[in-house]
Amino acid sequence: MYLSLFKTKYSLSLAEKVREKLRNFRDPVTGLSIVESQAMLSVKELDEGIIQIEFTPSSPYNPMAFSYAMALKAISLKVEGVKKVAVICKNHVMADRINEEVNR
């Protein structure tokens, strides 16, 4: 158990730490975390402290997509070591607008 705790706490990459933090973000409609629901495509560390999150809402017309994108960014910025977060919404009718607003 000690080794497991050590590995979890000290050897996770920044992207893995962000993904773990995002497990707590629940979709109010499904009750599943965004990670469990497979809505999140990827979490990548592009450069030191710079994270990119790509996600696909449950529907191309999901009215919560903008709120989800803002929440993903806010939660990720709370992870120690994260300096900047870019969130990319995919397969949504307003993806371009969402991406522009969230990543200002």
pLDDT single digits (tens) 38-68: 676 799 999 999 999 999 988 899 999 999 9
Residue 56 lies in a domain: yes
Q: Residue 76 sits in a domain of what CATH number?
A: 3.30.300.130
Domain that holds residue 25: 12-102
Residue 6 lies in a domain: no
Provide the pLDDT for residue 3.
45
Residue 2 lies in a domain: no
Cβ–Cβ under 8 Å, residues 40 and 88? no
Q: Is the pTM of this model over 0.75?
A: yes
Residue 1 pLDDT level (bands cut at 50, 70, 90) = very low
Residue 66 lies in a domain: yes
SS3 2: helix
**What six digits make up the tokens of 68?**
């989800």
Average pLDDT over residues 65-75: 95
Provide the pLDDT for residue 18.
95
Q: Which residue has the tokens 């050590």?
A: 6
Residue 77 lies in a domain: yes
Q: How many domains does the chain have?
A: 1
CA 90 to chain centre: 13
Residue 76 lies in a domain: yes
